[in-house]
Amino acid sequence: MRILSIETSCDETSVAVVEKINDFQVQVLSDTTATSLAVHAQTGGIIPENAARAQVEYIIPVISRTLENASPNKNPIDFLKHEIDAIAVTYGPGLIGSLLVGVETAKTLAFSLRKPIVPVNHLLAHLYANFIANQTPHSSLNIQHFPCIGLIVSGGHTDLLYFRSHAEYQWLGGTRDDAAGECIDKSGRLLGLTYPAGPEIERRATQVTNPTIKFQSPLLHSTDFDFSFSGLKAEVARFVQKESMTNQLKNEVCYALQKAIFDVLIAKTLKAAEQFGVSHILLGGGVSANQTLLNQFRVKSSELGVSVFSPERTYSTDNGAMIGAYAALNYEPIPWQKITANPELYFA
């Protein structure tokens, strides 16, 4: 089965052609991502209208390029008509204007070409980036991951789930306020770093060899699986206002911030793995691109005999291939008339 998949929930316009290999793997034949990040870096965050306007401009060229690359020797329209079995699209959660661009484009393709269409929850798709084959050795090659614990850590969400098998999952907990990535980006803004701040905070934190400051790790010892990061952001704000911020001190704040966030992410995920008796953890979402987080996860989980998987960096942040992966492995097409963009979509 071959799927053309579309992701436009936030600032990326990303399209992929993926092919199902087996019940646990898909292969990416081609994928293209256009981003309006430069515009958002200027405003220090995403202005929804700017994101959607760029997506309206990008969506057709991105689909066209993806089809051309998937099958260089064929006419892209013929390839789409005759060799794509279904269309998949993110229908939520996300920014309404952005979601509409992808959803309406996907519905138009499904209607005009009489193809089945599969609506995909963006959050679940982040974890399904682990089912994309041919990634680096630490990722998903030939492994059946279920049962597992999934941790989604992105700019908009922090959620912990227990999966028995495909589509059979239980939500365990999530953030009560800001997401981990949101805390990172807002703290980065307080430090005067470019949006999104995750990669620079990671780079700066690695410069610190003798840390001298510490922030509280929120809800580290609570008995539930919830997270909370808005207090941590406020702690960073108070620190930055109080101190005169040298470059070295900024690096230290980055280190302490990462440590406070990562300690609680790792502790609660491993607690869930122990409680549910699983030996696999899947990470997904932009923050899971962080190598320090991954290394610490691996060290601590190996002590418990648990393996941690994370997608390649390009598939950690928003991308069309993960939407195709979810749709191929949970193939449930519905009539195009029934699909509506849902910015508030969460877990069933």
Is the Cβ of residue 74 or residue 176 nearer to ligand KG4 in the bound state?
A: 176
Count helices and strands in the chain by DSSP H and E runs: 12, 10
Please enumerate in sequence order all residues whose Cβ is within 8 A of that of 26, keeping only pairs 6 or more positions apart, or say none: 18, 19, 20, 131, 132, 133, 321, 324, 325, 328, 329
CB of 128 to Zn ion, least distance (A): 12
Q: Which does 30 bind (CB under 5 to 8 A by kind): Zn ion, ligand KG4, none?
A: none
Q: Which does 198 bind (CB under 5 to 8 A by kind): ligand KG4, Zn ion, none?
A: ligand KG4
Cis ω for the linkage preceding 333 (within 30 of 0): no
Taking contact as CB under 6 A, which single stretch among the options 104-112, 139-147, 152-160, 168-176 is the one that binds ligand KG4?
A: 152-160
Is the Cβ of residue 86 or residue 193 nearer to ligand KG4 in the bound state?
A: 193
CA–chain centroid gap for 213, Å, is 30
Q: Which does 119 bind (CB under 5 to 8 A by kind): ligand KG4, Zn ion, none?
A: none
Subset of 145-164 contacting Zn ion (CB under 5 A): 154
Taking contact as CB under 6 A, which single stretch among the options 56-64, 107-115, 241-249, 281-289 is the one that binds ligand KG4?
A: 281-289
Is the Cβ of residue 8 or residue 66 nearer to ligand KG4 in the bound state?
A: 8
CB of 341 to Zn ion, least distance (A): 15
Subset of 187-246 contacting ligand KG4 (CB under 6 A): 196-199, 202
Question: Which of 139, 154, 175, 296 forms a contact with ligand KG4 (CB under 6 A)?
Answer: 154
How large is the angle between the packed helices 96-113 and 76-83, nearest 10 degrees? 80
Taking contact as CB under 5 A, which single stretch among the options 62-70, 190-198, 222-230, 316-324 is the one that binds Zn ion?
A: 316-324
Question: Which of 54, 95, 236, 289 forms a contact with ligand KG4 (CB under 6 A)?
Answer: 289
290 binds ligand KG4 (CB under 6 A): yes
Subset of 178-197 contacting ligand KG4 (CB under 6 A): 181, 184-185, 196-197
> Measuring CA to CA, how many Å separate 38 from each of 72, 94, 193?
30, 19, 14
Question: Which of 31, 178, 185, 318 forms a contact with Zn ion (CB under 5 A)?
Answer: 318
DSSP bridge partners of 121? 92
Please enumerate in sequence order all residues whose Cβ is within 8 A of that of 116, keeping only pairs 6 or more positions apart, or say none: 85, 86, 87, 110, 333
DSSP bridge partners of 28? 18
Question: Which of 92, 102, 286, 324 forms a contact with ligand KG4 (CB under 6 A)?
Answer: 286
Distance in angstroms (rounded) separating the CA atoms of residues 175 and 285: 14
Question: Which of 26, 232, 287, 329 forms a contact with ligand KG4 (CB under 6 A)?
Answer: 287
> Measuring CA to CA, how many Å separate 190 from each of 153, 186, 204?
21, 6, 15
Site for ligand KG4 (CB under 6 A): how many residues? Answer: 19
Phi, psi values for residue 98, rounded to 5°: -65, -45
Distance in angstroms (rounded) separating the CA atoms of residues 144 and 25: 9
Residues that bind Zn ion (CB under 5 A): 154, 318
Residues that bind ligand KG4 (CB under 6 A): 10, 154-156, 181, 184-185, 196-199, 202, 285-287, 289-290, 317-318
